[in-house]
Structure 1
Amino acid sequence: MKHFSKHLMIGAAFLAMTAVVPATFAATPNDQLVIGTSLAQLLSLDPQQGTEPKTLEILANTYDRLVHFDSEDNFAVKGQLAESWDIDDTGITFHLRDATFSSGNPVTANDVVFSLVRLLKLDQSAAAGFKTFGYNADTIEGLVSAIDDKTFRIETTDAITPDALLYRLTNGVASIVDSVEVQKHINNDDYGNEWLRTNAAGSGPYTLNRWTPNNIVILEANAQFWGGEPAMRRVVFRHAPESQAARLMLERGDIDIANALSAPDVRTFENKDGFVIDQVKTGGFYVLAMNAGHEALSNPLVREAIAYGIDYQGIGQTVLGPYGRARNVPVPEDWEGAIANPDWSFQPEKARELLAEAGYPNGFSLTLKTIAQAPRVDLATAIQANLGEIGINVRIQQGNGADIVASHRARDFDLLLPQNSAADPTAIGALDNFTNNPDNSLEANNAGNFVWRSAWDIPELHNLRAEANRERDAAKRLEMAVELQEKFIAASPAVLPLFERFEPIVVNARVVGYEGHPWSLTRLDDVTKTD
């Protein structure tokens, strides 16, 4: 019997605190959840800094946001710390519930102000989404205010509609931190960043017990959580980057969920009783980033040749499998406003003709950088083979999350394989990462900007996207989204979507109540486990 489900079910347990896979383990206890995953990209637990998918799942359980969206209810925005909110012509006023941080301090509107000001003042890549909407370090303090302890207000800018701002506030980077606690740990005006990188100061259903890099993260149930103490007393994120080892651990019952398996290992669970497979649609993409600062890659003809030099369907079937589907337009194909895919099928002869027209009849060599985890290593190998057929010699350089992310942000690459998520669950939100680059100069040092990292100067696309963000007429905004997609394809993008990205998760069917979130903001407070 094949088991597929839209709603995941997982269970839990507490393992020995080591990265080495032990020979045997008892079944995981009913009040503990163990997740086998890759912690390679877990670089910081500061919610105004950490943006990688595995980081976000930890932050989603140690912090609250004002609001969240429900992917099972047509992306409806619902309250978290905010019980209600009022929208007017110039801003949004939020009314907060009674809640306390894990420290025992009450959650107040001053904490919300502090958190959003902190996000923009730190001015790291996590702030990029709010900067797109006209908020920055110089203006943020004048745009947010605490009316009283339980009432917070944020003014809209002329670059954003209130609905889009609500979605932006559902992002993990808008998590609310305990301002009283964080201010005790400020060092050299760092807004408490050094301390928050390895500690937690939130009001979420869990508190941070331990984090050992590339080994383990342990969360403990927060007895003071406003939603009631979670059923799972402890949650363990176990570093299990080797897919085969993680598969064996899941089969033995040593872990309850695996979310970093290779496509073949995911498929081994299709006919196994007692397991559930789900493909969470992330709204994001696996992307081939091309550095347009490289002489050859600055040429649109070369970029178009590369687009025709990749076997999307073949890679999708043999490598990606449950991890995604071929898609070269940066809006998921089943979202409102999405256009049809261009004809960028594998056409090596046409690709070689484009290279010759661009002045490279004999091809050239490039280095492709990738994080060493599934499925990106296999994806890189397949792209290497494809591009070799059109005369581009590709050398693959693997690295850990810190190394590859740093190279991406520093424009230190030829080709690179990042992944991303939609800024908001709308066509315009999906396009944000791909069409936003206000200043392409090296001096701008806008490392938080996805397009800037590829040195791709796109003033026409940028201005049209900004205009669409300001448009309050939904029909007109959708027309602009269509136009943006068409112009994006015509420009032979340096940030080339390869595959719409899914997150395949395999779980033990004993667990009830787990629902994978498109942005990895998966809350675990409602998870229970059956015998």
Structure 2
Amino acid sequence: MKHVSKRLIAGAALLAIAAVSSPTWAATPNDQLVVGTSLAQVISLDPQQGSDAKTMEILANAYDRLIAFNPETSEIYGQLAESWDIDDTGITFHLRDAKFASGNPVTAADAAFSLVRLFKLNQSAAAGLKTFGFNGDNAESLIKAVDERTLRVDFAVPVIPEALLYRMSNGPGSVVDSVEVLKHVSNNDYGNEWLRTNTAGSGAFKVRRWSPNELVLLEATPNFWGEKPAMKRVLFRHVPESQAARLMLERGDIDIANALTAPDVRSFEGKEDFVIDKAKTGGFYALAMNAGREPLNNPEVRRIIAAYGIDYAGIAKTIVGPYGRARNVPAPQDWEGAIENPDWSFRPEEGKELLAKAGYPDGFSLTIKTIAQPPRVDIATAIQANLAELGIKVDVIQGSGAEIVAQHRARDFDLLMPQTSATEPTALGSLDNFTNNPDNSAAANNAGNFVWRSDWDISEMHALRVKATQELDASKRLPMVEQLQKDFIASSPAVFPMFERFEPLVLSARIHGYDAHPWGLTRLEAVTKTD
């Protein structure tokens, strides 16, 4: 998706912006980019830990991966890898000549260290690649530096090579400067405590300052292997209030706004100084139900809520708008292999009768937890009103990204509204968040897995998903992908899609070369600004 950009923010110097709590804003200089966004979910700058879209938006510019993919064509191309060879047992990567921001050379040993570190840390960021059999025990034997510029990754299990490449192109595949990171290891934490607030990458920028829920300031590094970026600095400002962000964009205080409500996005329609754009993420706004708690442990109750209790069409029209479209199958409707949507619609009288037959004539009470950012709060409030008509009393609990994500991972919720992204731009990749749960036990502590977080045991569905990921013949794999979706709908899912998720943004017409990435991995080295 090619995107044109528009105005920038900051006054004379972003250093002054970063240092002053209430600066006076002016039209932004041509060598500085200011993004108004929500930083609520940015809780760690460690690329093998922080995996939400807003964190990736920052880290994609401080780090390189071995490979990346073009969101317009789905073509995989090299970043630190100039080329790669695929054989029956693995992939060999050949690295380019590059340096980290520190000046240290990028080597295959750094790439091996980074990938092994991902599995040793065993954070939720590793979930996408663990699907292919990698783990903290086998990573060192499967991922090795052959020489200074050659990395070998052996397959842990039979795998579709392109699927593995797509997942390696995501943020957790970032290559860190092992020399720098190893200086900061404490208590065998693989440098995690230090990397939570510092960057050690080879991207076009490095993090100069991070103040949680306030700002992140990036500064161009002279050691970048690619073309020198036109922007000397990039400032991500925490502007969680949509109306405030809209006004700042209109008066030139920020160049890009990507956390606006649907009405505020629409307010820019027809304005020649701005461009509205959106990235199709391949993911969803979802509803997670805790199948380990009554009455949500009853499949019939879950089915009633999903199939009768939510006005998907109405919410899509009045709230979601440019953020998405109604969709309950966990594969975008226009992707190959996606099946038709089920007949899930708002039928409160039928739902109320079915709840009575299921043993709940007087309904029951639940809470729904959501991160306090658009459009999730408004969706949660609409669900609250919908379920009230079935006799289900719902209290909405808002929180920061750190709070809600931690409670999700701890299975500490009744209902919760997460969002997903496709682990690869295929129907099978999109299904991963909804059909992957190898071990549902509490002892497994597989908190990187959405299904595990909902305490939903799906051993048969998981087995079919594994079989599909290991089927190299596409003509045989496609029927498995279709069957997975049918089984999912029939299963009274404990976590299911509500709306296919887009990421709308509004840019000042001064901005050029901004190419929004569906996974939040938007690179900024090619961005320029005109008067």
Compute the TM-score of the two structures, normalised by the length of structure 2: 0.97
Aligned equivalents of 1:135, 1:460: Cα separation in 2: 21
Aligned equivalents of 1:79, 1:393: Cα separation in 2: 52
- Indicate the residue corresponding to 2:41 in structure 1: 41
- Indicate the residue corresponding to 1:66 in structure 2: 66
- CA offsets per residue over residues 337-377 of structure 1, 9 Å max, x none? 11110000111122123212221121100000111111111
- Indicate the residue corresponding to 1:12 in structure 2: 8
The alpha carbon displacement at 1:445 in A equals 1.0
Aligned equivalents of 1:358, 1:530: Cα separation in 2: 63
Residue 528 in structure 1 maps to residue 528 in structure 2: yes
Residue 144 in structure 1 maps to residue 143 in structure 2: yes
- Indicate the residue corresponding to 1:92 in structure 2: 91
Structure 1 alignment gaps of length 5 or more: none
- Indicate the residue corresponding to 2:32 in structure 1: 32
- Indicate the residue corresponding to 2:351 in structure 1: 351
Aligned equivalents of 1:363, 1:165: Cα separation in 2: 46
After TM superposition, where is structure 1 displaced by more than 6 Å over at least 4 residues in a row? 18-21
Question: Across the two proteins, how many residue pairs are aligned to each other?
Answer: 525
- Indicate the residue corresponding to 1:50 in structure 2: 50
Q: Residue type of the partner of 1:7?
A: H
Aligned equivalents of 1:216, 1:264: Cα separation in 2: 25
Aligned equivalents of 1:219, 1:491: Cα separation in 2: 46
Q: Residue type of the partner of 2:18?
A: M
Conservation of the 8 A alpha-carbon contact between 1:19 and 1:216:
no
Aligned equivalents of 1:222, 1:187: Cα separation in 2: 27
CA distance change for structure 1 residues 8 and 21 in 2, over 3 Å: closer, same or farther?
Answer: farther
Q: Residue type of the partner of 2:432?
A: D
- Give SS of 1:61's match: coil
Conservation of the 8 A alpha-carbon contact between 1:133 and 1:160:
yes
- Give SS of 1:273's match: coil
CA distance change for structure 1 residues 423 and 294 in 2, over 3 Å: closer, same or farther?
Answer: same
Aligned equivalents of 1:79, 1:353: Cα separation in 2: 57
- Indicate the residue corresponding to 2:364 in structure 1: 364
Aligned equivalents of 2:414, 2:144: Cα separation in 1: 44
Matched ranges for 1:3-402 at <5 A: 7-14=3-10, 16-17=17-18, 25-73=25-73, 75-307=74-306, 308-402=308-402
Matched ranges for 1:349-498 at <5 A: 349-498=349-498
- Give SS of 1:477's match: helix
Aligned equivalents of 2:46, 2:7: Cα separation in 1: 27
- Give SS of 2:133's match: coil
CA distance change for structure 1 residues 286 and 19 in 2, over 3 Å: closer, same or farther?
Answer: farther
- CA offsets per residue over residues 403-446 of structure 1, 9 Å max, x none? 10010000000000110101111111000110000111111111
Q: Residue type of the partner of 2:113?
A: F
CA distance change for structure 1 residues 420 and 21 in 2, over 3 Å: closer, same or farther?
Answer: farther
Aligned equivalents of 2:19, 2:166: Cα separation in 1: 39
- CA offsets per residue over residues 116-157 of structure 1, 9 Å max, x none? 110000011111111111000000001011111011010012
The alpha carbon displacement at 1:297 in A equals 0.7
Aligned equivalents of 1:20, 1:340: Cα separation in 2: 51
Aligned equivalents of 1:13, 1:263: Cα separation in 2: 22
Q: Residue type of the partner of 2:70?
A: D
Aligned equivalents of 1:436, 1:195: Cα separation in 2: 32
CA distance change for structure 1 residues 182 and 466 in 2, over 3 Å: closer, same or farther?
Answer: same
Aligned equivalents of 1:97, 1:203: Cα separation in 2: 12
- CA offsets per residue over residues 478-500 of structure 1, 9 Å max, x none? 11110000000000111020000
Aligned equivalents of 2:7, 2:233: Cα separation in 1: 11
- Give SS of 1:286's match: strand
Aligned equivalents of 1:358, 1:296: Cα separation in 2: 10
Aligned equivalents of 2:523, 2:344: Cα separation in 1: 38
Conservation of the 8 A alpha-carbon contact between 1:19 and 1:240:
no
- Give SS of 1:289's match: strand
Aligned equivalents of 1:409, 1:442: Cα separation in 2: 11
Aligned equivalents of 1:457, 1:526: Cα separation in 2: 46
Aligned equivalents of 2:345, 2:447: Cα separation in 1: 31
Conservation of the 8 A alpha-carbon contact between 1:304 and 1:354:
no
Aligned equivalents of 1:53, 1:8: Cα separation in 2: 20
| More moved, 159-168 vs 187-196 | 159-168
Cα RMSD of the aligned pairs, angstroms, is 1.2
- Give SS of 1:25's match: coil
CA distance change for structure 1 residues 446 and 529 in 2, over 3 Å: closer, same or farther?
Answer: same
Aligned equivalents of 1:264, 1:372: Cα separation in 2: 17
The alpha carbon displacement at 1:13 in A equals 3.7
The alpha carbon displacement at 1:10 in A equals 3.7
Q: Residue type of the partner of 1:50?
A: G
- Indicate the residue corresponding to 1:512 in structure 2: 512
Q: Residue type of the partner of 2:3?
A: H
- Give SS of 2:229's match: coil
The alpha carbon displacement at 1:159 in A equals 4.5
